[in-house]
Structure 1
Amino acid sequence: MSSTLSRVRAAYARVEAVGRPEIWIDLRPREETEAEARAIDERVAAGERLPLAGRLFAAKGNIDVRGLPTTAGCPAYAYEPAADAPVVARLRAAGALVLGTTNLDQFATGLVGTRSPYGAVRNAIDPSRISGGSSSGSAVAVALGIVDFALGTDTAGSGRIPAAFNGIVGLKPTRGLVPTAGVVPACASIDCVTVFARTLAEAEQALSHAAAGPEHALPPLPRRRPGPWRVAVPPIGQLGELDEGWVAAYEAAVARLTAAGASVRTLDLTPFTEAAAMLYEGAFVAERYTAVGPFVDKLISSGGEGLDPTVAGIITRARDIPAHRLFADQERLADLRARALAELSDADALLLPTAPGHPTLAEVAADPLGANARLGRFTNSTNLFDLAAVAVPAGEVNGLPFGVMLIGPAFTDERLAAIARSLEPRVRLAVLGAHLTGQPLNSQLLAQGAVLDGTTTTAPAYRFHALRTDPPKPGLVHVGGGGAAIETEVWTLPAEGLGRLLASLPRPMTLGTVELADGTTAAGFLCEPDALTDAEDITRYGGWRAFLAGAEDSAPSGVRGTARSAPTHPHAPLGDHPTDE
């Protein structure tokens, strides 16, 4: 069965298995997506390069997807787009397949994920808690493994709060890096299209295609002085009240960055939190009325069916804000931004908790405005200050995900991602066969965020066999005396990524410990003893590449040169090939 088609069928099965209808506004008909999947597979088979072939994604319900109504979370607002939004079109052109549009806080107004006539979107881990919003359905679809990545939007934190609450990655790029054409605006001057994924590598891969085109390329950054990453953190007292255990979790994230070599210093968070309060308490909320206010007024006059009352109240109150107040707020914001950038001037990033706490559905229902306002304490100012951000998982507190956020100046998106990798729990993986650089399954490692650490050999204690499998792959067996050293690449990857590789590992392959030439060990792919029946012993070749080339004894027995970054290959989806060596 072809890879894209099999993944589409698995996705629809997953939709039924999780039983979360509130995730979706419109799910595309299965027959339609299967036909598109077959077409993608045929194009790949014909030799067309589609770097996102087989990747499945969802789009927030305020982003145009051709063939589906754009509702922005309000049935009465729905319209039929004539074309995909540019961001959707770019991803589809790269081979990705969109499954449908996802639920959201109506008109992208909220950080809770409950303000929708399509139902409150429940958290992926604890259904009694909120998913976070406004990009609620997109985040949960990723967290539950239905899609590989999803598009959201972020005006006040909507692409970061749901990521933190559901234990996934949320990339909020520099404003303008991804086009917002074909997106129903919330506050058009500061809206961003964002990406959710389960790993940083998956999110970056999708973003690289969503932002394709020279007009959206990252400009060269000023040269930074050599040395470790410089990360700013506020005094704990300036974070305000956090949920139980969250201070310790945040301090642990700071400690991980320090252990990874970052230079950490304190900064004054005051300009950030004061600007955050202005987003809804000041005149800037008037832009939400500009976006959809006349429609909301008209719908209210006819009975208001399908309007969320909290959202309607926010938008209609914004209608009467006087113009002089907006000019005063703009002047104050300019001063706060200057102070904030001065605080960040010698730092590569600011590290913050993504949110101050994770409320239950009942807590939000009891205080919808207060609960929402608290959630935006650390996120609201980012777009007002024209900054970039990435939200990443940073452990758990009481069984629930805890997330942190790295914020930096505009166009430092790649730098923020590089710093964020220091927070990922990583493991070493010894690779000897089909996952080697340039081999068919190497793209699976890249898709899991793996980075090549170096090339070496195993300890001289192994026999190497060509297994009778389809496709051909080697089997490594520890024998102690009488063994030999086998060429090995050592990769590091997120622990979660290794878990996904293991989950799809077919027999006769197993995961075990491989002894390396320098005396250290790493996880590695081994094989079951039964698989060696009639398998050719290829130990004499010293490695898989040499065997494939038919060049006996061509591989050196010592340590090869070390590579510090992975070569670029198209990222293939997990499941395109059997996970084996």
Structure 2
Amino acid sequence: MNLFLFDDDTAPLPPITMSQVVQRVLSVFDALSRGFGPAPGVWLRCREDVLVDAKSVDERVRAGERLPLVGTLVAVPDDPVIVGRLARAGGVVAGHTVPGAMAAMSEARLETLSKLDALLVSEPPSMCRDVVGFVPTRGLIPLDGPGIGTVLAREAAVAQQVAAAVTGRDPRIGHSRDWPDSVRLSAGDHPRVGVPDGASRARLDAPVRARLEATVDTLRVVGALVDEVDLGGENGWCLRRAAFTLHEHDALLTPLGDEVGSLSQLVTRLDTAAVLIPAADGKGMGVVTKPFDDQVALDLAGLLTGSQASHPYPDTGVGLVAFGAYLRGQPRADDLIGAGARFAGFVTTARHYRMLLLQRDPPEAGVVDAGNSQKGGPLVGERWLLSPSALGEFVAHLPPPMRLGTVELSDGTTSLAILCDPAVAERGEDLTAWQCWRAYLRHLSALRPIAAQAES
């Protein structure tokens, strides 16, 4: 991970590597002393205290620790639980945010960060200029008081990583929350997004309306299913209609602003999660989702901004390896998508598994453990992540002869997997030599034109 410093009027400084956190702190405080900050609404800590924390991170990195926030400089509320969680993740708290700071500033701008990587504030801004705002579901970030935790950063991925580090129930705070067992980790490749209809857009200023329409076009291009919905009310968006739209859709796209029913009003008056997407004039867009659908909002924001963290925000995912008809684009992949599963990459099994053809309509592949026989080989599958509740529901509806089992992977680890009843699979044609169900399907596709030509 490389971290960069940005000045408003100068080129970025050279990248700072993981083992140079102290240098990063020295550079930041030097820049601040030359008049570039501090950020509005931020009280900086004593430089010597920050350097002590930075040296501790350097020592942990040299000792071999893998820290998700290594060297990330943040300003957060002066809360020992929040500060402690960031320190354990390798973050360095350079200062503390002042409650109500965003209300006083009314918008988030790049200079708000003033050399820091992220700010954690207690309320979402009404506008964002060059700064992404991530507003997790209320209570996931355990802030004392009525505020809603909002992480501001230059990129959505950084905001997500900082939020993940401080997420978790705090017994001191009654309204703090944990992830539910049924949390969705993805809305699939074609999320359904509600957007203001023509009548609702007519209430917007021309530049905001044009930006909204351009964002809608982008969503359609990336595969989202866009529905126009009536959000109109007497004084802006109707909160009741917005809540109904969220119930029927994966997300709602709405402009930022300070009018009644705007995104800032939605996230403070409804139980939601949201990502605020910046614009040069501050009047950007917001993606709002139902509570605990935070990752859906982050996925859509990633499509719109090009910044996506490598791991999902919820930490409740259980890995499941899929083969055959459960691969993406195959007939049963919708069963996984419907369960809120998230595609997490390709895997290869150890060399003692077999893939056999199941004569069904459409045909499927069954994977079994070949044991110590010489018939096995490595097979390519896909790793998905599901919440514990979704995994239980998915397994309960697995059609015979499929069943849940454990598979050994080529790297020596094990994972839950969709396997097949060996007694049923043994009656099918052995496809192990193809190593992947898709490779076998490509083979069949190549044979069809040859067969058709021979018949003619």
TM-score tier (shorter): 0.5 to 0.7
2:122 to 150, 153, 162: 153
- Listed as ranges, the matches of 1:131-210 within 5 Å are 132-133=106-107, 140-142=111-113, 144=114, 146-154=115-123, 159-162=124-127, 164=128, 166-181=129-144, 185=145, 188=146, 191-210=147-166
Q: Which residue is 1:548 aligned to?
A: none
Shift of 1:102: 3.6
Tell me if structure 2 keeps the 8 A contact 1:273–1:381: no
Shift of 1:57: 0.3
RMSD, aligned CA: 3.6
Shift of 1:47: 2.6
Shift of 1:275: 7.8
Shift of 1:244: 4.9
Q: Which residue is 1:264 aligned to?
A: 226
- Listed as ranges, the matches of 1:291-370 within 5 Å are 337=240, 339-355=241-257
Tell me if structure 2 keeps the 8 A contact 1:175–1:388: yes
User: Structure 1 pair 94/232, CA: closer, same or farther in 2 (3 Å)?
Assistant: same
Identity of aligned residues (%): 30
- Listed as ranges, the matches of 1:565-580 within 5 Å are none
1:35 to 52, 67, 71: 52
The letter of the residue matching 1:175 is R
User: Structure 1 pair 242/53, CA: closer, same or farther in 2 (3 Å)?
Assistant: same
* Residue aligned with 1:205, SS: helix
User: Structure 1 pair 375/7, CA: closer, same or farther in 2 (3 Å)?
Assistant: farther
* Residue aligned with 1:350, SS: strand
Tell me if structure 2 keeps the 8 A contact 1:91–1:210: yes
The letter of the residue matching 1:161 is S
Gap regions ≥5 residues in structure 2: 1-16, 171-176, 309-342, 347-434, 437-456
2:91 to 92, 96, 108: 96
Q: Distance in 1 between matches of 2:245 and 2:255?
A: 18
Q: Which residue is 1:417 aligned to?
A: 298
User: Structure 1 pair 19/270, CA: closer, same or farther in 2 (3 Å)?
Assistant: same
1:13 matched to 2:8? The reply is: no
Q: Deviations over 1:187-235 (max 9, x none)?
A: x2xx211111111111111111111469623542479997611111112
Tell which has more relative contact order, 1 or 2 (C-alpha 8 A, sep 6+). 1
Q: Distance in 2 between matches of 1:102 and 1:87?
A: 12
Tell me if structure 1 keeps the 8 A contact 2:254–2:262: no
- Worse overlay, 221-230 or 192-201: 221-230
Tell me if structure 2 keeps the 8 A contact 1:37–1:97: yes
Q: Which residue is 1:253 aligned to?
A: 215
Shift of 1:241: 4.9
1:45 matched to 2:62? The reply is: yes
Shift of 1:86: 2.2
User: Structure 1 pair 102/211, CA: closer, same or farther in 2 (3 Å)?
Assistant: closer
Q: Deviations over 1:150-191 (max 9, x none)?
A: 10112xxxx2435x1x2111111111111113xxx3xx2xx2
Tell me if structure 1 keeps the 8 A contact 2:185–2:293: no
Task: Provide the TM-score with structure 1 as the length reference.
Answer: 0.45
Shift of 1:256: 0.6
1:406 matched to 2:287? The reply is: yes
Q: Distance in 1 between matches of 2:247 and 2:52?
A: 52
Q: Distance in 2 between matches of 1:104 and 1:23?
A: 12
Q: Distance in 1 between matches of 2:26 and 2:88?
A: 21
The letter of the residue matching 1:35 is V
Shift of 1:89: 2.1
The letter of the residue matching 1:15 is L
Tell me if structure 1 keeps the 8 A contact 2:193–2:224: yes
1:3 matched to 2:24? The reply is: no
* Residue aligned with 1:391, SS: strand
Tell me if structure 1 keeps the 8 A contact 2:273–2:288: yes
Q: Which residue is 2:369 aligned to?
A: none
Tell me if structure 1 keeps the 8 A contact 2:247–2:290: no
Q: Which residue is 1:117 aligned to?
A: none
